[in-house]
Amino acid sequence: MNTSSTAARVQAYVPGGLLSWPRRAEAWLDGHGRKAWITAMVLGFIFFWPVGLALVAYMTMTNRWSKTMFGSTCRKSRRAEWGAHRVYASSGNSAFDAYKAETLRRLEDEQAAFEGFLNRLREAKDKQEFDAFMADRARTPRPGNDLPPPAEA
């Protein structure tokens, strides 16, 4: 990356183009991504630990730890996002698109049927556990029930 494009990007943040040195450093680090921020933090800890600690706090407050903060370092999520949209896109072959649509519909139906089966299985297990609890509760004597019923006069 050449310095003229970095300077142009830094000047684009402010209408006048004049930034203080912390803002220029922030813009430069943002331009180089998350790895640059982490490197600056590690170097801050090595040379003067309060600087490293301040960078950790700043990175945490401004969410610079996440991969979504920087577009250039977010390749994996972009691929996943692109792949998800690509599944439903047309291939141009109508026979294949019909087969794909039918297969996706069948898989969605099977998934719904399987989720229904799991719900019924959970309900049956819950009912079995509840019935076992109630049977155990009926077998154990409760205090206060060991007295004979009151005699009627």
The alpha-helical segments, DSSP class H, found in the chain are 3-11, 21-32, 34-47, 49-61, 75-87, 94-139
Measure the CA–CA gap between 105 and 150, rounded to whole angstroms: 68
User: pLDDT at residue 145 above 90?
Assistant: no
H or E element, residue 90: none
Average pLDDT for 86-100: 82
Q: From start to end of 32-105, where are the E strands? A: none
Greater pLDDT, 97 or 20: 97
- Write down the pTM of the prediction: 0.35
Measure the CA–CA gap between 46 and 29, rounded to whole angstroms: 18
- Tell me, what's the pLDDT at 140? 82
User: pLDDT at residue 73 above 50?
Assistant: no
The phi, psi pair for 79, rounded to 5°, reads -65, -45
118 band by pLDDT with thresholds 50, 70 and 90: very high
| Residue whose tokens read 């060991």 | 146
- Tell me, what's the pLDDT at 52? 85
